[in-house]
């Protein structure tokens, strides 16, 4: 049986394009005074999930030491299990933490406060692919424009953090065209249908994506709904005018943007395109997929 005060830190040294490895010593030193704590190191893609599933039988709390991708692996492994999940942010953007912990802190302060943190139940999103696979997302998914940005960030080694997202945005925009999509959205007020090209498609649980972009400014981690933000087809020369709006979250007031709360969506893509899920890249997504909110699905550590 899991001990109430037991912690397992699952450390991904590959986070932030391998730069997280340099923080291993600080993590180990800090945990010397940490009660009932152990460290497990992720060695390959998917390993963090395996470690989390195994550790959940003996620890009450799992700490994702990485970025949003590491958190995604761990959460997918333990949904439905009686464990809490916390975050020690050593990834490139750590977007989900910005919704969960609105107070800015140094990573050392986050680590020091973990033992005294309170917790809350938060929602997740779920994606069901047409081949029967399904996967939870913690922060957001994006298809087309933001999917290609995530793919470019993943391939770019000479920039880090938020600068890599800025570089990717410009690189993708230069050769981009809106993506044909069929979208059905179930909202609290009824159904919305779109059958048109879409410039940018995002479904969010958290508020921030790509470091600083407020894709879903009204996101609430515990409202049982997802936030949909769709920029309809516009000429790409107009998009730079939207960048500042996305940084502020004011794009949702524009006539070319559809922003709403949703319990579920059905999306059909006639042609394949890139999708990101919490920053992790799916390179060729096509056909039909279902996206739904999963209310109060996981217990997360948060600020007191």
DSSP bridge partners of 4 = none
What domain range includes position 69? 3-116
Each residue's pLDDT tens digit, 259-303:
999 999 999 999 989 999 998 889 888 999 999 999 999 999 987
Beta bridge partners of 261: 227
152-197 residue pLDDT tens: 887 877 676 667 778 888 898 998 999 999 999 999 999 999 999 9
Q: What is the pLDDT of residues 29-86, one digit of tens each?
A: 777 767 788 899 999 989 999 999 999 988 999 999 988 999 999 999 999 999 999 9
Domain boundary (91, 116, 141) is at: 116
On the question of pLDDT at 150 being above 50, the answer is: yes
- Which helix or strand (DSSP H or E) is residue 147 part of? helix 145-155
In-domain check, residue 189: yes
- Contact criterion met (CB below 8 Å) for 141 and 205: no
Q: What is the CATH number of the domain that holds 139?
A: 2.60.200.40
Is 134 in the same domain as 280? Answer: yes
Report if residue 277 sits inside a domain: yes
Instruction: Return the closest-CA partner of residue 77 out of 93, 96, 62, 99.
Output: 62
Closest CA to 147 of 124, 127, 122, 131: 127
232, 198 contact by CB (below 8 A): yes
Can you tell me the distance from the alpha carbon of 211 to that of 204, in angstroms, rounded to the nearest whole number?
A: 14
Average pLDDT over residues 246-251: 96
């Amino acid at each position: 049986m899991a001990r109430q005060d037991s912690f397992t830190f699952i450390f991904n040294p590959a986070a932030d394009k391998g730069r997280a490895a340099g923080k291993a010593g600080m993590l180990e030193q800090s945990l010397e005074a940490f009660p009932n704590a152990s460290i497990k190191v992720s060695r390959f893609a998917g390993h963090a999930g395996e470690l989390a599933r195994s550790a959940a039988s003996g620890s009450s709390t799992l700490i994702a030491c990485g970025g949003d991708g590491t958190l995604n692996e761990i959460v997918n492994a333990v949904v439905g299990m009686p464990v809490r999940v916390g975050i020690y942010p050593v990834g490139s953007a750590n977007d989900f933490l910005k919704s969960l912990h609105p107070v800015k802190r140094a990573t050392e302060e986050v680590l020091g406060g973990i033992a005294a943190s309170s917790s809350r139940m938060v929602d997740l999103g779920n994606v069901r692919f047409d081949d029967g696979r399904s996967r939870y997302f913690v922060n957001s998914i994006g298809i087309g424009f933001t999917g290609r940005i995530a793919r470019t960030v993943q391939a770019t080694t000479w920039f880090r953090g938020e600068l890599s997202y800025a570089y990717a945005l410009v690189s993708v925009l230069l050769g981009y065209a809106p993506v044909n999509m069929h979208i059905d959205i179930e909202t609290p007020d009824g159904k919305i249908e779109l059958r048109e090209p879409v410039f940018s498609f995002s479904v969010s649980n958290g508020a921030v994506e790509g470091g600083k972009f407020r894709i879903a400014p009204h996101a609430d981690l515990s409202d049982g709904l997802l936030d949909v933000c769709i920029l309809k087809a516009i000429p790409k020369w107009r998009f730079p005018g939207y960048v500042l709006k996305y940084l502020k979250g004011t794009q949702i007031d524009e006539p070319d943007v559809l922003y709403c709360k949703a319990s579920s969506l059905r999306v059909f893509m006639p042609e394949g395109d890139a999708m990101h899920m919490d920053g992790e890249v799916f390179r060729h997504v096509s056909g039909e997929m279902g996206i739904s909110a999963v209310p109060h699905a996981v217990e997360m550590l948060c600020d007191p």
